[in-house]
Amino acid sequence: MSAAGQGALQHDFVRIPAGSFLMGSDEFDLEGPERTVELPAFEIDRYPVTVEQYRRFAAATDRELPADFPTVPVLEADPSRLLHPVERVSWHDALAYATWAGYRLPSEAEWERASRGVDGRRWPWGDRFDEARAVVWDNAKALGVTTVAIDQFPGGESADGVRHLAGNVEEWVMDALLPYPGSTHKSPSADGSCRVLRGGSWFYTNEYARGSFRRGALPEFTGYDGAGGPGFRCARDI
């Protein structure tokens, strides 16, 4: 960890063993073709980066806090907000945090492997969506929530024990958005100028939270007023 990053809160990394997994989906052309991908072993954050972790980073680096970041009175009134994932950060912000902390952003393949395991499941827990396991638009409105603390919805963890890979906040990964090798997809957004977002969020329905779902946004994108925006988690080599 860098000297500056030693001020960060501890990250809880999950080891993902080397091996192959099923990546992509033939449901939508931007997700296909479905294929087998081989990855070396790596480690990924069990949880997305929290408000508290990002607050310490911003204080240490004089970085501007994201839009809609909880104010001090809000945090004092509800300390649990410190454990919510940070949102409305740009890809540049996410990369800066990861670098400061001595880590990196996960690759798109690493993120999908952490979510889908080795059996190509649709959501981290299996092939049927369950509202008790993730916060997405389908249940966020009924629950009266947007983001939730990282210790909530424990049943939504992946086969490897990684949490909140479906819903809560969508997450930046390192990659530029490009069609996969062998894909016939063509769109202006998939020309490499955008970065990939994964996992859906509280503002999107469960289909966006599928492990193979991918979308892109310009690296400056931070979301929208009233609709939240991206978060992220870190990874590291073994």
Residue 3 pLDDT: 37
pLDDT of residue 140: 85
Residue 6: the pLDDT is 42
Question: What is the tally of structural domains in the chain?
Answer: 1
Q: For residue 20, what are the domain limits? A: 4-237
pLDDT less than 50: residues of the chain: 1-8
CB-based contacts of 77: which residues, under 8 Å, 6+ apart? none
What pLDDT shows up at residue 4? 38
pLDDT at 138: 86
Strands 231-232 and 171-176: parallel
Query: DSSP assignment of 189-234, as one string?
Result: GGSSSSEEEES--TTS-GGGGSTT-EEEE-TT---BTTTB--EE--
pLDDT, tens digit (0-9, with 9 covering 90-100), for 29-76 = 999 999 999 999 999 999 999 999 999 999 999 999 999 999 999 999
| CATH number, residue 206 | 3.90.1580.10
- Both tokens of residue 28? 């939508």
Cα 140 from Cα 147, distance rounded (Å): 9
